[in-house]
Each structure stands twice: as C-alpha cells, then as structure tokens.
Chains A and B, each alone.
Chain A
C-alpha cells in the first residue's frame, strides 16, 4: 500500500529529519506509528499526504509514485489532522457539504455526506454550529470529514486527544470497523493502550529512524518482563557472568528487566541460587508496548 524508500528530507533550516528512511505499510493493515514528540511522525505524514516533498527517495502508494500521480492518489487518501480541521462557524452539515464538494471524483456528494454522518453518529447534530459541539463530537466531525471521499488509505493523527471515554470508544470502534471494511489505516497516537488495542502492525520511530517495526503480536512476544525478589540484597557481581546482566536492574533485593524467554529466566534464577540467595518471589509475563516503547526511546522527557 505505502512504500517509503530511501527517503531523505530536511527542512529549509537544514535540519535533517529523515536520511535513508524506509517503511512499508501493507494494504488492509491498521498500522500504528508511534514515537516521541519530534521523532518525525508529523513530517512523515506531511510527506505521505503531499504537503512536503522529499529531497531524495520515493513514496509510492498502491505502486504509484506520489510525486507523479499526486492528485490521483490524494483522491483515494484522507488525512485527519490532530486539530479540529473544520469551520467552527459553519454547521456540521455545511462543513460536510463544503469538504465533500471539493472532490471532483465524488459524483453523488449527498450520498457520501449521509454515509459519513451515519458512521460517525452525527445525524442529530447536523444543524448545530461546529464550534458549539462538545470535544467528542468535534472529533467525530473531524473524522467524518475524513471519510467523505471513502478513502482506501486513512491517516489519523491522534484522533482521540482530549475526549471522554465514551467518545473515544465510539471513535475507536468506528476505526476498527473501517479497517474491517478494507480501509488501510495509518494511526498515530501517544496512547499506547489504544495502539495495542487497535493496530496489527506498528513502527516506533525516533530521531527519523525506525527503532522497531513489525506485527505487534510478534514484537510483544519476543521480549518479556520479569521481577525477582530475594531474601538478601543482590549485587552485580552475583550475576555478572550472565550474558544479559546489563538489561537487569538491581535495587537491593529486587531485580527486574526484560528477558527474551523463560530459558533466560531459569538461567538467572540458577545463578542467584549459586550465589547463595534465597528466591522469595518470581514474576514473568508478556511485555507491554509501553515498556518496549520506553526502552527504545528512553524515559527522559522530550520537548
């Protein structure tokens, strides 16, 4: 669906965002793009939606080069920005009618508007000024506008920021349904539980580089969190012969960190027992996206 190859992009102040960047998003996937602020997510979206042009490399959508077939590709693509991208003084219906009639490819705009209203549950609010809607309804209108052209590729930039749980649930369900119906979705969010709940494939990017990408289930099962508590304090010398000792945090008599599998856990327990420690407690389980994310992007607060 989307193929980004050898992408190079720098802003006019020579700040390089991407250098030899590659990314593949398969058709029909619900792809989660995550990364801290300044990682390059928004820039990547601006490149895929044609707002910016890469200095080198290519972006292909459905096998067609974006730079050569921009208008054709944009007709089947829709981007829902993080901001409320509509006219607050116009009503819901006026907004939908306006945006729908900007597409030459839409032959029956009334029908498309009706379907977008139905999918986002805005029927009873269609005559209300957009600016007077609640935060959740504004998000739904934002999404509805993005659905007007019945896109085959939908790009959602943090579509659930600042809304109540009910509206979030409604939007996430709608997104899931759209994906089931065949729409490829590129989804960015800072809410890791949303990504875990929705996406089948993810990429973690930071400083313009892909830190990790692949099918979410496989990535999560590759590493696992552990927690061991001993009777007496443990020192690094007790486990330094272990290959993976650097990924273990020691805090007095508590050890935690990430392991690849249960075999590594058994090896660690054996080592501790050889050093004379009595094991009081052991926890071992599947990793969470959030802990993986922090490990990849570091915990320090970004700008």
Chain B
C-alpha cells in the first residue's frame, strides 16, 4: 500500500518539477516579494531624519541641572528622540507613537552619578518587541557612552589630578562605569506593528502557499480532460490514495516554501541591506501554523480543481480568490495601516488568520495556546472545503 502511495507522490512531484510556471509562482515570486517589500522600508528611513528609529525620553525629575545634562541623550546618533512630559503609560506611548524604545531617567539619577554616589533607581529602557537586536545593541552602547560622560563631567572640572592619575585608562575602562553599575531594566511591550521583514516574510509566504491551486488544479484538470481520471477510477484501488496523493506532496511543497521564505528573511534580506528576521525559542510553532495554512490552501485548491472544468477557469478563480484574500487579509496592505472598518473585514480572510498566527509567534512570542484560535479556524474551514471536494470527487465522472 505504501508503495502505491509513494508511486503517486513520485508522479505528482515529477509533474510539479516539470511545471516551470508553478515553480516560479511557488518559490521565486514570494522570494522576490519578500526581498523587495522588506528592503523598501529601510531604504526610505535612511533618507529622512524623522524616519530614523524613534526613541521616547521621560525625565522623572525636571530639575535644571538634570535637564541640561540630559541634552546628550536627545542627540543619540542614528536615532530620532522625542521628549514626553507625561510620565505614565509607557506601553501606550510606544505603541501609539511607534517608538522602538522608551528611556526613563529616574529622579536624581544624573546628579547621583556626577557626585559618584550610588544610584537609587536604574535608568530604564523599555523596548518594543519588534525592535531588532542590532538596534537594541546600538541604543545600549549609545546610552552607556552618555552615562559615562555624566560620570566624568564633574570630576573633570573638579580635579586636574584626576587626569594625572590616568584619565584615559579610566574613561575607556569599565571601572569607571562599574562603580555605578548601570543595569538596564528591559521590558517588552506588546506591539501592534511588525517590522517590515516580520510583516513581509509570513505575508508573502502565506500568499504563495495558497498558489498551490495553480499546479494542483492544472494537474487534476488535465487528468479529468484527458480521461486519465476515468482510467484511474477504474483501477482496483481506493479513491483515498489519489486524494492523499494530492494532499501530501503539496504539504511537503508548502513546508519547503516555509523553510525557504524564512531563510530568505533571516539571511538574504540582511545580506541585501535590510533587517534580519529573528526567530525566538518558540520558532517550532511555525510548523503547526504552516501545516494548518497548508491544509486549508490545499483543500481550497482541491475544491476549485474538482468543481471547474478547464485550467483557465481554475487559474482565474484560484488567482482572483488568492488576490482578494490577500488584499483583504493584510498581505498586500498590512492591517495596522488599514482603517478600522477594513481591519474588521480583514478578520474574515483565512490569509489573515494565518498571518496573525505567524505574527503571534514572531512578534508576541506567543505559545501554542495563543495560536490555537487561528489554527482551529484554519483547520475548520479546511475540513469544510475538503468535505465538499471529496463529495464532488466521488460524483465526478458519474453524470
């Protein structure tokens, strides 16, 4: 039995590999989209100071001495800083003002540093979870540099002997800083907005996964039109072989797409000058998400393939359905830039379910329980499509 299934799988793979258009649509198109869309945003950032990564600043104490010293913080190279007078709701500010981080300077912090006294409260940096590690590293290095300057400032003015004791060594060494070890408390804030690469990779991956409708339906319709299906149905084997023979190869193809597209996000996009996609420990959750999306894409493709009569119909119906689902579902236009009404409509697109599931894994460090609602929706619709596809297949060639 397994030999028969392997024989069918071999045939399906051979047919897909011989279909150059299918390979272009399934692999090259999404790679190109991911690269282009991921690079488009960083390119515009570099040209405009306002588009540089935004940082918020909150000073708990608004004394003159602290404020004047704090000027250094507002000039962090490579960042656009914005002061906030209201000290509450750090989380909302990060979300609403699209900040990559918020720096909170506690009361008397600068004064205590300059007087070489122990600090009571640490300087705190709150990150958006979408902030890449390179930016975090750069920001921390800049902050530590400023803190070191605050520590040195008063001493330089007060004592020439300090310089004689080897200022250079102390300035560059860690001892000066370690006297008042600055530990930065990091807190993650749930973000609504993914980075360009976090948006592009899953979005275009899902889009391409749904395009299995083209090779699947083309093969199936050719079988139907050429009488091959009639011949297959007169063989002494169950219909289930042919159904699994269709489903399994395309699940494998979808999983290959998933691995390839994430590799593009992780390696190719940064090599081309964009931000790298980063995976956390929960990356294994991408597998059940991909499988669920894949099952729906294949079930929908099978339903279309069984119901239509020509490859033209399949290509048109499949293509238009994919484009509509993608446009509505936040693939082409991210949902966070959509007006509220469209955001609500977006929730009805299965592509949006898949995208939300991926973003829950990538952006919110979600658990399996967090992606279960999306998985359940995808699998439920998949079951409905598959049911109607099987019923139609059973009746095929009878009338």
Contacts and interface: CB of A to CB of B under 8 A. Distances in A.
Nearest to B4: A102
Given A51-B234, A75-B236, A103-B235, A83 B4 contact: no
B235 to A, nearest CB: 5
A101 interface: yes
A99 B236 CA distance: 12
Contact of A81 (B4, B15, B230, B236): B230
Given A49-B234, A51-B398, A71-B236, A85 B7 contact: no
B163 interface: no
A104 B228 contact: no
Interface in B1-56: 1, 3-4, 7-8, 10-11, 14-15, 18-19
Contact of A79 (B7, B223, B231): B231
A84 B226 contact: yes
Nearest to A130: B226
Interface in A205-251: none
B233 interface: yes
A11 interface: yes
Interface stretch (A33-41, A86-94, A173-181, A194-202): A86-94
Which size bracket describes the interface of A in this complex? 35 or more
Interface string A117-153: 0000000000000000000000000000100000000
Residue from the set B10, B226, B236 with the largest chain A CB neighbour count within 10 Å: B236
A50 interface: yes
Interface string A268-282: 000000000000000
A12 B399 CA distance: 7
B227 interface: yes
A87 B8 CA distance: 12
Interface string B227-252: 11011111111000000000000000
A81 B235 CA distance: 13
Nearest to A13: B399
B397 A87 contact: no
B397 A103 contact: no
B172 interface: no
Nearest to B219: A87
Nearest to A100: B7
B14 A101 contact: no
A271 B7 CA distance: 74
A260 interface: no
Contact of B227 (A12, A70, A85, A105): A85
Interface in A48-72: 49-52, 70-72
A83 B226 contact: yes
B222 interface: yes
Contacts of A13: 399
Interface of A: 11-13, 46, 49-52, 70-72, 74-75, 77-79, 81-90, 94, 98-99, 101-105, 145
26 contacts: A12-B398, A51-B233, A51-B234, A70-B236, A72-B236, A74-B235, A74-B236, A78-B234, A82-B227, A83-B225, A83-B228, A83-B230, A85-B226, A86-B226, A86-B228, A87-B228, A88-B226, A89-B18, A89-B19, A90-B15, A94-B14, A99-B231, A102-B7, A104-B1, A104-B236, A104-B237
Q: Which 5 A-B pairs have the closest CB atoms?
A: A83-B227, A81-B227, A85-B227, A74-B236, A71-B236
